[in-house]
Amino acid sequence: MTNPTSRPSSGLSTFWNSPVLVLVFTNLFWGGNIVAGKLAVGHIDPFLLMIIRWIGAMILVLPFAVKPLQRSWPTLRRYWLLYLFYGVVGYATFNVLTYLAAYFTTGVNIAMEQVTINILVMALNFAIFRIRVTALQMLGAALTIVGVAFIVTHGDLGRILALEINLGDGLVLLACIAWAIYSLGLKYRPSTDWLSFLVATCAGAALASVVFQLSFGGGLAVLPEKLAAVSLQGWLISLYAIVFPSVLAQMFYVRGVELIGPNRASLFINLLPLFGTIGSVLVVGESLQPFHFYAAGLIVVGILLAEWSARRGQIAVSEP
């Protein structure tokens, strides 16, 4: 099944057809979302933030998507479960886990731990689609995993044997699994306009956010009280979450996967530690610990090995 998307105006064609630019800005906006999640603590309830974010994103895109939705309606109706899957797993589940994680761990940890996404994508690609993995790529993955283990255990790997892992770090790892599954699922994205795709998936995310509120957030009856408690900072964070990580970044990531496939596109997610860490230090005021530097060294070496292997053509890249 092919996955063409319609192109934006000609003035943006260079950007739209450059996987590097598209994916760098994708991760810049997602890195900002990590910072936003930390800044949201105490200013807006995480389940309420999810509802506002995805309903707001859907409303923002909808006026521009009326005609595309009319053209894509037969496909949307036929594959509605697939679009619901994208919204529930890739949008809602991933983000609610990272927002909740912000209550228990640092933004630096959240950012750096998300490098596990590309490892999970490669592992699932091999397990499900039998996409070949080279020895160098496996070595790079192993080094990256050890680096993440340093972060999760705060520099004490012995804590893994004792199963002493911070709840927030564990939530981030669960979020990474959800995103890896979503990334592989994009291989089967039906041929629809990107605006139609965004509206359909945001609708799925909004529905899932309401379900999360009903299941874990205290129900709908408490929403008025939660809304009244939102501060100005909370509303500004909501606005950022609606526009940048929800609409622009999701659109850019889908385009990046379309251009170079999920394996190579997932490697760009390794920019998240850079953007998220810088933001957490400069904006949130967090500090770096020695184990962060050890972990960063292992992660960088692992990434370089995996990318060098891919560039030499030693790995078969799956195209969407």
How far apart (Å, rounded) are the C-alpha atoms in residues 291 and 151? Answer: 7
Closest to 15 (Cα-Cα) out of 252, 299, 184? 252
pLDDT at 192 over 80: yes
Residue-wise burial string across 189-215, b where 16 or more C-beta atoms lie within 10 A, e elsewhere: bbebbbbbbbbbbbbbbbbbbbebbee
**Of 201, 247, 252, 249, residue with least CA distance to 83:** 201
Give yes or no for a contact between 85 and 204, defined as CB atoms under 8 angstroms apart.
yes
Q: How many helices (H) and strands (E) would you count in the chain?
A: 17, 0
Question: Residue 74: its pLDDT value, please?
Answer: 95
**E strands, the chain, in order:** none
Over residues 87-99, the mean pLDDT reads: 96
Can you tell me the mean pLDDT for 63-82? 94
The answer to whether 137 and 309 are in contact (CB under 8 A) is: yes
Cβ atoms of 5 and 193 within 8 Å: the answer is yes
Give the mean pLDDT of 12-39: 90
- pTM flag (> 0.85): no
Q: What is the pLDDT of residues 253-305, one digit of tens each?
A: 878 888 888 767 767 777 777 788 889 988 999 888 887 887 788 777 877 77
Per-residue pLDDT at 254? 78
pLDDT digits (tens, 9 = 90+) for 110-144: 988 887 887 788 788 878 877 666 777 777 777 77
Instruction: Tell me how far apart the alpha carbons of residues 251 and 86 are, in angstroms, rounded to a whole number.
Output: 13
